Structure 1
Amino acid sequence: MNAGSVVFEHVSKRFAGFTALPDLSLTVEAGTLVTLLGPSGCGKTTTLRLLAGLEHPTSGRILIGGKDVTHLPANERDVAMVFQSYALFPHMTALENIMYGLQSGGVAKREAQDRAREGLRLVGLENQGGRLPSELSGGQQQRIAVARALVLEPQVLLLDEPLSNLDERLRRRVRTDIRDLQQRLGFTAVYVTHDQEEALAVSDKIIVMKEGDIAQQGAPETLYHSPESVFIADFMGEANILPCEIERHEDDYALVRLGRQQYRVRGHAGRTGAAQLSVRPQFITLTDNDAGALRGEIIHRTWLGDHIEYEVQTELGALFIVDALMEQQLAISASVAVDFKPQGLALIAN
C-alpha cells in the first residue's frame, strides 16, 4: 500500500468561545500505527477530524505524505476513515458495501468487484460477501468497514473508536485482527480511543493528549514504565502515587527509599531528594509477617474470580493492590506487611 506520513505543524483549532487545540505539533511515521489516547474532551477526535478534512484548522499546517493538505477537502486527501458506527448500508451486501467507495470514485464495476473481493480476503471474510450487514456479527461488520476503507488504498487509514460497539471478548479479538493486518500490509494508521488497554495492544506509538496538548508520547512500554507526570502514570493503567526519597545513584539506577526499604529504580541520573514514585498495583505484595517496606491494615477486599483487589491503609496513604496469585485470602481489618517488586516502580519526572 502507498503508506504516507502525517505531520501537524503548530495546528490550532478554535470554535466559538472554545479552543480545542491551542498549538499541536506531531508526526506519524509512514507505515506505523499511532494511537491518539486521552479522556473525553482532550482533543483527540478534533485532531482526527482535522486530518480527515472534516474540520479545518484555525492556524498551522497539516501534511500527508509530504503534501500540504491544510485547505484541501476530505475527498482530495487520500485518507479513508473507519467510523465508530461502521456506517454500512443495510440494503447492500458486504461485497457491495466494499465496492461502493470504489465505484463512487469512478472505478469500473469489474475492477471494483475484484478489489472488493481482495478486500474480503484481506480481512478473512472471503465467503461472506453475499451477506447483508444484519446477517453478520459485530466483529464481521467491523472488518467489512475496515476492508471498505483499505480497498481505496489510502495513504493513511483513520480509525475513530472502531471497537466501542463490541463486547469485551470480541474487542480483544478484533484489535488483534487490526494490528495483524496493519503489520502485514504496512499501511499508516491513526487510531483514536479512550481505552488504555486497547492503545497498549495495537500501537507502535501512543500520543496521550490532555486539554488539547500532548502530555507524553512514545512507545507503549515507555509510557507505561516511564511516565513523565502523575497524569500519565495514573492514566496508563492503575497506579499508586507515593512519596519517596532518592538517596543516590548507581549507573543507570536510582537508589530510592520507600518506607523501611531501599529499591533500585531505573532512570533520573543525578537527581536526589524528595520525589514521587508510581507503583503498579499488581507489583505490590502482602504478607502477614513483620517484613516489608510499610505496615498497613486491609480496609476493603473484592474477590473477582481470577484475582483479588485489596485496599490497604498505610502511613503513606491508601494503596490499591491486585493479587493475581490468590495464594491466600487476607481478611478485612488484618494487619499486613506491604512490599514492592522493583519492576513495578517508576520515578515520575515532574
Structure 2
Amino acid sequence: MTNPQRGSVEFRAVRKNYGAFTAIPQLDLSIQPGQLVTLLGPSGCGKTTTLRMLAGLETPTEGQILIGGQDVTRLPANRRDVTMVFQSYALFPHMTVFDNIAYGLESGGLKKAEARHLADKGLDLVGLGGLGDRLPSELSGGQQQRVAVARALVLEPQVLLLDEPLSNLDARLRRRVRTEIRELQQRLGFTAVYVTHDQDEALAVSDRIVVMKDGMIAQDGTPRELYETPASEFIADFIGEANVIDCEVLGVTDGQAMIRAGGSEFQLPARDAPAGPAKLAVRPGAFRVARDGDGLEGTVATAAYLGDHIEYEIDSSAGRLFVMDDTSSVAIDPGTPIRLQFRGVGVALIA
C-alpha cells in the first residue's frame, strides 16, 4: 500500500546548538507531499542549517525530524531517502553526462542495464536527451544544473533538496532555469525544499515561502501572502521593496480597520491591530501619482523612465518614498508638487 505521507516533512521542536551558540532556538515546520517550499532569509538566518539537518548532514541538539511519517532524526544521510542538488552541481568532470546520472543508481546496487535505462529517462526528463555522451565541461551552466537535478531525481527520493541551486548562473539563465525547475516539480509532483537568499527566485518557484530570521520563522505563507500582507517591517522590506509609513487606525469593525494616512481614509484588514497609531507597508506600485486631489502631499525628487514604468523618489511628510508608476509613459519633472493616493492592493497594516 502506498504511504499517504510519502514526501511529507516535519520538524518538531527542533533545536540546534553549536557549542554555546544557538543557531536554531526552536523550529516547528510541516511540509505537505508535493509542495515546493523555499527557506528564505539573509545570511546567518538558519536556512542552510535547517536544510543540512533535513539532509542528515547535521544532527539536531533537540527535537525530531520526520520524513514520510518516519522519525529520521538519528538516521545517517544515506538512509533518509532524500537527495540534494548542490550549489556547485558536484558533477564528476571526467565522466560523461550519462555516467554522472547512472553513477548513483549503480552505486546503490542497480544492475547496469537498468541503471542505463533510468539514466536515459532522467536525461529526457530534464530535456537533455541526446547529450549523454558529452562531458560536463561541454555543457552550459544551465545544462549542468539540469544534469544535477536529473541525477537526483532518478533516485526517486521522497524529498529533493536544493541548496542555492542557481547562484552560479547569470541573471538571464537563472530566470530560465528556475522556470524549468518549477515546471518539472509541478509536472512530476515531487516534494522539494529549496534554499535561497534571492527574493525574486523564491517568489517565482514556491508554493510556500518560509522566511527565517535569527534561526526562527518570521513568516510562513504563499508568495502572494508574504508580498501583499507582510507580517512585520522586516518581511515587508525583505520580500521586495516596501515603504513603511505612519498611519492611524480610527476604528475596527468586523475585522476591517478604518485607516487614515496622508490625508486619505480607507479600509484594510485589521490583522488584530487596535485603534491608535500604526504603520503601513506600501509597495512601490501601490501608489497612484496625481497632480491634485487628496492623498499624501509630496514633491518629486527624482524621476527615471524605465520603458514599461517610471520610478520616482518622492519627498513627503512620511519621508522619502520609492514609487513605481506603470500608468504613464511621461515622467513628472523633479520639483513638481504631487499627491500620492493609495490603490488598495499592496498596502497592509504591519506589526
Give TM class, smaller chain: over 0.9
Q: Report the alpha carbon displacement of residue 252 of structure 1 after superposing the two structures with TM.
A: 4.8
Find the counterpart in structure 1 of residue 321 from structure 2.
319
C-alpha contact (below 8 Å) 1:42/1:211 kept by paired residues: yes
Amino acid at match of 1:38: G
Amino acid at match of 1:329: A
Find the counterpart in structure 2 of residue 195 from structure 1.
198
Find the counterpart in structure 2 of residue 9 from structure 1.
12
Where does 1:158-307 land on structure 2 (aligned, <5 Å)? Answer: 158-249=161-252, 251-268=254-271, 271-287=274-290, 289-307=291-309
Q: Report the alpha carbon displacement of residue 266 of structure 1 after superposing the two structures with TM.
A: 2.9
Using the alignment, how far apart are the partners of 2:227 and 2:278 within structure 1?
Answer: 18
C-alpha contact (below 8 Å) 2:303/2:331 kept by paired residues: no
Where does 1:147-162 land on structure 2 (aligned, <5 Å)? Answer: 147-162=150-165
Find the counterpart in structure 2 of residue 94 from structure 1.
97
Find the counterpart in structure 1 of residue 84 from structure 2.
81
Aligned residues: 348
Using the alignment, how far apart are the partners of 1:272 and 1:203 within structure 2?
Answer: 35
C-alpha contact (below 8 Å) 2:242/2:284 kept by paired residues: yes
Using the alignment, how far apart are the partners of 1:198 and 1:131 within structure 2?
Answer: 29
Find the counterpart in structure 2 of residue 50 from structure 1.
53
Find the counterpart in structure 2 of residue 115 from structure 1.
118
Structure 1 position 63 matched with structure 2 position 96: no
Q: Secondary structure at the match of 2:298?
A: strand
Structure 1 position 339 matched with structure 2 position 344: no
C-alpha contact (below 8 Å) 2:229/2:346 kept by paired residues: no
Between stretches 275-284 and 316-325, larger displacement belongs to 316-325
Using the alignment, how far apart are the partners of 1:13 and 1:249 within structure 2?
Answer: 41
What's the CA shift string for 1:260-317, capped at 9, x where partnerless? Answer: 1112223436832221111000121223x23231111222334444433221111111
C-alpha contact (below 8 Å) 1:159/1:191 kept by paired residues: yes
C-alpha contact (below 8 Å) 2:36/2:206 kept by paired residues: yes
Using the alignment, how far apart are the partners of 1:158 and 1:223 within structure 2?
Answer: 22
* Residues 234/270 of structure 1: CA separation in 2 closer, same or farther (3 Å cut): closer
Between stretches 25-34 and 328-337, larger displacement belongs to 328-337
With normalisation by structure 1, the TM-score equals: 0.95
Structure 1 position 330 matched with structure 2 position 320: no
Using the alignment, how far apart are the partners of 1:172 and 1:255 within structure 2?
Answer: 40
C-alpha contact (below 8 Å) 1:259/1:294 kept by paired residues: yes
C-alpha contact (below 8 Å) 2:39/2:212 kept by paired residues: yes
Q: Secondary structure at the match of 2:345?
A: helix
Amino acid at match of 2:55: A
C-alpha contact (below 8 Å) 1:32/1:188 kept by paired residues: yes
C-alpha contact (below 8 Å) 1:249/1:269 kept by paired residues: no
Amino acid at match of 1:336: I
Find the counterpart in structure 2 of residue 24 from structure 1.
27
Q: Report the alpha carbon displacement of residue 137 of structure 1 after superposing the two structures with TM.
A: 1.1
Q: Report the alpha carbon displacement of residue 250 of structure 1 after superposing the two structures with TM.
A: 5.2
With normalisation by structure 2, the TM-score equals: 0.95
Q: Secondary structure at the match of 2:143?
A: helix
Q: Report the alpha carbon displacement of residue 249 of structure 1 after superposing the two structures with TM.
A: 4.1
What's the CA shift string for 1:95-145, capped at 9, x where partnerless? Answer: 111011111111111111000111111111112111111111111111110
Using the alignment, how far apart are the partners of 2:208 and 2:299 within structure 1?
Answer: 40
C-alpha contact (below 8 Å) 1:298/1:331 kept by paired residues: yes
Q: Report the alpha carbon displacement of residue 323 of structure 1 after superposing the two structures with TM.
A: 2.3
Q: Secondary structure at the match of 1:332?
A: coil
What's the CA shift string for 1:303-334, capped at 9, x where partnerless? Answer: 44443322111111111112234422122222
What's the CA shift string for 1:142-161, capped at 9, x where partnerless? Answer: 11100000000101100001
Q: Secondary structure at the match of 1:45?
A: helix
Q: Secondary structure at the match of 1:48?
A: helix
C-alpha contact (below 8 Å) 1:253/1:269 kept by paired residues: no
C-alpha contact (below 8 Å) 2:304/2:331 kept by paired residues: no
Unaligned residue ranges in structure 1 (runs of 5+): none
Between stretches 5-14 and 16-25, larger displacement belongs to 16-25
Q: Secondary structure at the match of 1:120?
A: helix
Using the alignment, how far apart are the partners of 1:62 and 1:301 within structure 2?
Answer: 51
